[in-house]
Amino acid sequence: MRRLSLLLLTGFFATAIFISGGQRQALALGVPQQAYTTLTNSRFSYYGSVNTAVATGGSDVVVKSSGEPDNDTGNLFNGDGVCFNNPNSNGCNSQTTYTVSNVLDSTDFSVSSGVTGGLQPGDRVVASQSARMAITFQPTTVANLDHIRIYVPAASSSSGDGIPDSGKFDANTLDTDIASAGVVSLSCSASCAGSETLTSPAYSTTTIAGQTYHMITATAGGSWSASRVYTVTLGHASTVADRFINPAPSGTSHTRGVGDKLVVTVQTEDSSNNIIEKADTGITANDGIMVSAYIPISVTWTISSVAASSSVCNTTTSVATTATSVPFGTVYASNTFFDAAHLHTITTNTTGGYVLQVKSDGSLKKDGSSPSIGDGTCDGSCSTTTAAAWSTASNNGFGYTLANSVGTDAAFTYADGYRLFDSSDFQTIASDAGLVTENKIYLCYRLSVSGSQQAGLYWNKITYQAYPKF
């Protein structure tokens, strides 16, 4: 089972001061600065490689099961954007991005369209996750505060090529666009009452004790307060490329669900680059989790009884039905209409709609054998597929008509007349070409017999079926 992506918001505080580039060693003043860092998206980026060649136009991709930050499809989900590139190329910016359509198993997934030019073993499989990074801190002292400096872990090379880095953040275009509006922003608790600002943001990389960092500096303006909480956000609100790309798992033997903890450092400095305060903040990227539930195409359908004396199908019923019977009972008068009805309620979740059909097992027969009550021809030439008027009760037989209660799904209505039940095949009595919720159709039965119809119990069986379309 894929585990939930976790974001650990843990502050690590230290009084030791390191020397970086032109920085001069200084003692931190007062209590060390308290801080924490959050990401708008803490999911690992995906970085694997192709195991088996894919021909031009192919859409099924098998990834290598060893030697990469990602050696399975555990953090690759349906809907992810993925690109492929030769290890010697620089990023996926000029290449096509494909959409993951199905994760088939632990090493096999498919994309929604054929891969242009095909793939070779060793080609990268990349699905980047980007995030805005927010560093929140409360200074203990703001005396001599001139600027803020932030260190974010970076790869020792290619740290801004738009490809996820194992265990490190990639700058993407944030490095070159650092001074653009909205890439670095400041907010304050309650409000920036001292008109605090961060201006002139600058980006570079630096190496400290063998570790490479993205280094961001910005000038502090206004009246900063030791009683106020500040948040510096790195990354543009809408331009995804101007955000850090989240790390891929570190190393080549990642265990799913186990996060990689990285340290982001924020420090305040004076105009001579002396550190006033600093805090190391822990941030943990982790695997995402795909929650899935399959809902099959279906039709929900009920048959409901209709009481006697109900006004349906432009007539008044004389017989009450149950959900499973049409009990005409004792037919006490000849050449007289006996009317009954059922109400069909249909819901379907497929955009193709549904079909409702009916079929009988033959005419109404005495004792289920013979003689039978003839199907009749209504007042003219009704049949199993053609409707005709039927208002003359001496035109004996058994048939049906339809009426819409909710929707317009009936195949015909009483305005068109009546039809006869088909015993050779199902006939469609209602349908729709889209999603429907509780559409309702009445099927109204009509029976008339002659005075010479032989006495006895007559019956047949009516069968309905409903199915979805796509």
pLDDT digits (tens, 9 = 90+) for 52-108: 999 999 999 999 999 999 999 999 999 999 999 876 665 564 578 999 999 999 999
The secondary structure of 372-439 as a DSSP string is EE----TTTT--SS--B----TTS-EEEEEEEEEESS-BSS-TTT-BBPPPSSS-EEEEEESS-EEEE
Contact 287, 44 (CB under 8 A): yes
pLDDT above 50 (res 30):
no
Q: Which domains does the chain have, with CATH numbers?
A: 9-44+129-285 (2.60.40), 48-124 (2.40.30), 299-468 (2.60.40)
Q: What whole-number distance in Å separates Cα of residue 365 and Cα of residue 51?
A: 70
pLDDT above 90 (res 29):
no
Q: Identify the H or E element spanning 131.
A: strand 130-131
DSSP class of residue 92 equals: S
Q: What whole-number distance in Å separates Cα of residue 149 and Cα of residue 35?
A: 13
So what's the pLDDT on residue 34? 85
Q: What whole-number distance in Å separates Cα of residue 446 and Cα of residue 262?
A: 79
- Give the phi and the psi of residue 18 in degrees, each rounded to 5: -100, 165
pLDDT above 50 (res 27):
no
What is the average per-residue pLDDT within 439-443? 98
- Share in percent of the chain as helix, strand, coil (round to 5): 0, 40, 55
Contact 446, 439 (CB under 8 A): no
So what's the pLDDT on residue 33? 73
371: three-class secondary structure by DSSP: coil
pLDDT, tens digit, for every residue of 130-170? 999 999 999 999 999 999 999 999 999 999 988 999 999 99
pLDDT, tens digit, for every residue of 290-347? 898 989 999 999 999 999 999 999 999 999 999 999 999 999 999 999 999 999 999 9
Q: Using 50, 70 and 90 to split pLDDT, how confident is the model at 234?
A: very high
Give me the sign of the Cα torsion angle 314, 315, 316, 319. Answer: negative
